Structures are given as structure tokens and as C-alpha cells.
Structure 1
């Protein structure tokens, strides 16, 4: 098998969701028979109830050979470690079904452009794996095909509410949720001990105090260790922790009817004020970056579970030196982390849509060991948390790891990233305004009001258009 793929940093994609640049080389998966394939938030309204329907068993999805059918599947999984696990799974389905799977990959920062422009160069891929924040634009462009009723029923039955919500837009589930990530407070145990901090901060005032205590300066007066690490220059790194703190302090990001954003109300102001107080109080130095936490030069940050792979490789003292705690609240209330999902969807113009959904049903349905093929890939090929609850149970040995388990345990209280029209534009605008407050260029109220005005303009344009 001759595999060609595009290699890039696993999370560059989430740093640059506004896509530029040309397409990367595709990854070609050879057919199992030897025939070469072509290279290659909370939801705003509750999902209507549906009659429970059990998804077809894996064997049922591949019961009738479909010789001559080829499904083109587009993902951002092109690294060799990922392909080493995923390719045999795709081969297995080819052998069982007679369907050829043409697996194409692009670099993470090119995926959005590849999906949105695919039809311009001829037939689009049949199946996409994509970030759920893109659903409003995809649905607005009439790009996605609604799943069959049994798929929708299976997602409602077999996934957590947060993950089902994460695959829902305008009361419609649009595909199978896959990888799930949520945000919690991550801290360096050794640095806490050295600073005399006995436990992770549970409220915002404690977060400020701990940040100041854990900051160190060298003989030259420069900060050598930051108490809290703010993830500037990255929309998710700024907005996801902000939203987690917002919800955990009684605020809302947007109205349920998409009519306006609400992050500039008092809870949002309290969060940004707390962040700027930490910076002004010398509890955080904005010159520090993610690599500094990995190097043991930052005591705390708010980050997602996917970061575990880098922490295992680099943190002094190993992953056992890293603690995970709930998102701090204002006064001991309920901690509500933000989660985001990826999902599988089918192109509306696919000529093989029935076979595409059969394949996705097989890929996401439990096998004899209780795990779906997708669950196997996510835990062993991607080192990610699968969103299907039975996959979480089947891979409990992996997910009970001291670093990962707190994230899994927090999923029932997590809320999906707000899936609203213009979500990406709004997110980027909010990032810039929060950063302006961090750097002292604007007061928190001015920054959030500016972001809200921009967001409400975008929402109005989307509603009219």
C-alpha cells in the first residue's frame, strides 16, 4: 500500500480556522482487493423527540456487497501514526462490503477551504469529517445531507446530550459525533507545592491569588515563571477558556433564538475583569506561550484534553506532575466547561449517499468487544476521547488515566460550543477584543461591547441573508 499524506501539527488547524493557501496533497488508500483508488454551545433550541431506532449492527451495514461503488472520504488525518490505525479499519469495511474507500487527507489548516470549494473542481467528496462550528455555514450553503432517521435516533440514544447538541443545528442532527474535547484547569503540581499552594483554585478570587503566588522573577526582575498562562494569538485558546468561565459564573454566550449575543453582560465583564486583574497583579506574563507550560515555566492554564500528548512528552516530572481541576466559578457555583466536537457528515450531492450512511453506521456502531471501529481509532490512533458513551465504556482502561479521567467525568456537565450563524467570525472578533483588554488597550466593558456590536451585526446579516 502506497500512502501519501500531508503532515502538520495536530492542532495548527484550531489556531487558523480562517483558511488560506492551496490544497495539500491527498492521501490515497488502495482498495483491499488491490485495485488502486484515486489519490487523493448549547444548541439554541431543543432537538425534537424521535422514535428510538437501533442502528444497524456492523454486519448489517455490510451485508450486501456493493461492488463498483466508491466512497470518497475527506479528513485531516494524514499523519503516519493515525493512518497506521485508520487504514486497516477502512480496509476491513472494503473487504466486507465490496465498497472502495478513497481516503483523502489535507492539512488541518486547509480542511475548511477544501470542503467549501470541493464542488468547484468536480464531484465533491461523499463524506467529510469536520469541526462542528462550521455547521451553520455548511447548512446555509446547502452542503450537507440530513441523516436517515435511524442515524438521528442512534445519536440521540447513544451519545451524551452535549455531544448530540454539538452535532445539531436548527433542530437537525447533521451526522455522527466523533472526537470530543472539553476545557478544564490544568496545573503543575510541583510549581504549586513550591509556591505553597495546597489545592487548585475553585473560585475566581483564588485563581488570582494562586497566579500571583506562583509567579517568579529572576535577579534581573524579569518574569521567569508565570502563574497563569493566557493563550493569546489563537481564537480557541482565548474564547474557549473565556466561555467556560462565563458559563461557570452564570453567564450566557448568546440568546437561544440567535437574536443577539449576551457575553457582554455582567458575568462576561466579571470574567474579563478577573483576567485583566491577574495580568495587572503580575500573576500572568503575556510573553509566555504553550511551550512554556510544557517546559515547566507556567503553573496554570485552562486547556483541553487533546494537549495531553504534548504534556506526556515534555513536562518535567512527567504527566503525573500535571493536575486537572474544574473551571473556577465566581462563588462556588456549578462548573460548566465548554466542549466542542468533530463529526462525520455526507455531502448533499453525493450519488452514493445511501452507501455513505451505511459505511458511517458501521464505522460508529459497536462490535463484539463493545467498541465501534471509530472508538478504536480515536483512542489508539488519535489519543482522543470518543463521544459515543459505549466507546467510553469499552475503552475505560485508556480513559481512566489520571490526566484524561477528569475530562471524561466533566462531560455530563459540559456544554457544546455555541453553534450560531457566523460563529467563526464572531469568535475571531471576540478573541481580538479580549486580547485588547489583556494588553490594556481597552477596558473590559469597552472590549466586550465592541465584540457584541460586531457579533450582533453578523447575526443580523445572517438572519437577513
Structure 2
């Protein structure tokens, strides 16, 4: 996929593969994410599919269940399976079999403006939820007279950030019971996470819309103006902000999303990609060799140096040189994924009940209890679809 791996890594990997496979050539094609679901479906059901494909980790379960991917369970050990990121390994599995090899991952952190923190006398990032609230209070006390200031820019529908607080409270968005998946937002634990998100929005007095996510408007462009102290973001959003304001990168740092427990960090949604071999591949053994090579420490280190969490190497020291990437690497240890089932795609891509739930709560249309109950029913219905 576009932007997944540096050109230098791909070129070196393919050259090494071709050297060890005389007479064989790698044809490497870049695809765009927009519209990829349909293109993958067409390719996987064709008579001549690619030998290796990249999948978003939430796409892997659907194609695994459809039988269009090759079972790699017996090859896992030779592909450094003991080093795979647990959350990505989970998304690449279906019914206790392995169909996807972890490629790379990224997760959200709290990006912050170091100058605004320093001006407020804050010398250490918060390590717990309560400390995060205390930091917001101190920031408001120092900068609150500035009408453009926001201690935390947090849109109402940033549901990936919401997941962290639900999971940290011991809740889930869905659980499996007796072979069926159902929503789990109606538990005390899940509701506690939702209430903390609501508390953050109210406490920070953010001007972010309650009815959109971080992409509308682009929160990185809001942060770039220099009046926002914090945003919950992916690391590369700092570079997006720097395209608007080149000075912002030098005064930006990050810390993991704080947990209730000061000794840990909140679980984070581990977004990323897996690599799979189509069941109809004409050269599956060579494809396996290509994947074995990619999962070697040499190439996993190159992935880390490009600023992502490598999928098949638990040593993330290569990310330590950049404070934002370092925070991402630390947080990734508590990485988690949404339910690894084909039906989850309908929750994300349709009228996402989690988004509707948070908008209803933050605009006062519904209480937390009623909104979570309604969202829970909608998720259960979506997951019950064939």
C-alpha cells in the first residue's frame, strides 16, 4: 500500500530475494487505500492473484473467513512468529489458524506542545488519568485567558481514542458468548470509560466538533496553529502539522495515553497491516520465502527506522531517537484490536454506533446509560449479520 514501506527497504529486500532465487523477478506494485476493498476482492477471486498482498488488519478476518488466503500456521515459526506483535498476530488469525503475517503497526499517543507545558510550569507528562486532568487544570490556569487556547483538542467522534479509555476501565465494545458476538458497552466498566471521555471533553473546554472525528477538520492543522496544548494523535500527524507550521515539530513531544494505574499505560488500538498469500498463488513457496526474508531483524529494523512499529520484531529501540515515535513504541506494548471477525467491518464503515453514541452524549441528547444501551443494541445487530 502507498506509504507502507520505505523504497530503500523494498529495493534491498527484493534484490536480496532475487539473488537467492535465480531467474525469479519480483514485480512490486503500489496500491492506494481508497477503494482497495473492491480491488482486493477482485484480485483474490481471480485465476491469477498476486503472490503476496497487504491487508489492513481489520480486513484480514473477512478474507480469511472467505477462504481466499493461504493457511500459514505451519510456517509461523520460520517467519519469526515468536516476535510477532500479539495484537497484529491476533488480527491475522481466524479460527485458531494463521493467515496473516504482521507487517507494521502504529497507535495513538498524546502529542503535546512543550512550550505551552513549560509556560505552565509542567515539567513531567502525566502518568495517570487523574494527572492528565490536573495538567489540563494547570494549563487552563496559565493560558485560559487566550480565547484561541485549548488544553486538549478532542473531537466528539474520535472513537479510536475512546477505545483506550473503555479498555483501560476493563470494558469491551463487544464480546463473544456461546459462539456469538454481541455488544458490551452496557457494562459498568465500559460506561466508566465513556464517562471519562466525556469528562475530558468537558474539562478541557475543547472547541472540537461533537459530531465529527479527528479528520473533520484535520486536527493536525488545528494543533499547528500553536494554541493547542495536546491532541490524541498518530505520530505522523506532527509532520502534517509541520506542513502548516514548520516550527511546530521542534516544540512537539508525546507521551502514552495515561491509564487509571500510574504504573502502566492505557491500551491503544493497534492499527496497521498484515501480509498474506492468496490461496490461489501460483508460487506460494517463493512467496513464503519473501515473507521469511521480510521478517528478518534486518528489515524489521529498517521498518522501525522509518517511524512505525515493526510487526515481527519486539525490539523497538530504533524508535527511541524521536520522542513521538518513542512514546508510540512504549504504548504499543499494550496494543489491542477490535473484534477480529468479518462482521466488524460493518461497524466501522457504516453508521458507526460508537460515533453516534458519543455525539448524543456530548450534545446532551442522551444520558450515558441510554446512549450506551442504544449503541450496544446497534453493534449487536451488526455483528449478528451473516
Aligned to 2:251: 321
**Partner Cα distance (2:76, 2:200) in 1:** 47
Asked if 1:103 corresponds to 2:28, the answer is: yes
Q: Which structure 2 residue ranges, 5 or more long, are not aligned?
A: 210-216
Equivalent positions of 1:19-98 (< 5 A) are 75-77=1-3, 82-83=6-7, 85-97=9-21, 98=23
Highest relative contact order (Cα 8 Å, sep 6+), 1 or 2?
Answer: 2
Asked if 1:274 corresponds to 2:196, the answer is: yes
**Partner Cα distance (1:99, 1:399) in 2:** 37
Shift of 1:439: 3.5
Which string of whole-angstrom CA distances, capped at 9 and with x for unpartnered residues, describes residues 23-49 of structure 1?
A: xxxxxxxxxxxxxxxxxxxxxxxxxxx
Aligned to 1:255: 175
Equivalent positions of 1:165-204 (< 5 A) are 165-204=90-129
Contact 2:226 2:248 in 1 (8 A): no
TM-score, normalised relative to structure 2: 0.82
1:201/1:315 Cα in 2 relative to 1: closer, same or farther (>3 Å)? Answer: farther
Which string of whole-angstrom CA distances, capped at 9 and with x for unpartnered residues, describes residues 52-73 of structure 1?
A: xxxxxxxxxxxxxxxxxxxxxx
Secondary structure of the 1:343 match is strand
Secondary structure of the 2:229 match is strand
Secondary structure of the 2:116 match is helix
Which one of 265, 276, 280 corresponds to residue 345 of structure 1? 276
**Partner Cα distance (2:261, 2:3) in 1:** 42
Aligned to 1:294: 224
**Partner Cα distance (1:418, 1:252) in 2:** 10
Aligned to 1:243: 163
Q: Which structure 1 residue ranges, 5 or more long, are not aligned?
A: 1-74
Aligned to 2:152: 228
Aligned to 1:431: 355
Aligned to 2:214: none
Asked if 1:452 corresponds to 2:372, the answer is: no
Shift of 1:242: 0.9
Which string of whole-angstrom CA distances, capped at 9 and with x for unpartnered residues, describes residues 242-301 of structure 1?
A: 111112222233325553222332232223223333434452111472211133232112
Equivalent positions of 1:132-211 (< 5 A) are 132-147=57-72, 149-152=74-77, 154-211=79-136
Contact 2:103 2:275 in 1 (8 A): yes
Aligned length in residues = 369
Contact 2:151 2:230 in 1 (8 A): yes
1:439/1:201 Cα in 2 relative to 1: closer, same or farther (>3 Å)? Answer: farther
Which one of 292, 307, 326 corresponds to residue 237 of structure 2? 307
Aligned to 1:54: none
Which string of whole-angstrom CA distances, capped at 9 and with x for unpartnered residues, describes residues 311-362 of structure 1?
A: 5666675545223223233464742322233111011122222221122112
Aligned to 1:355: 286
Equivalent positions of 1:106-125 (< 5 A) are 106-119=31-44, 123-125=48-50
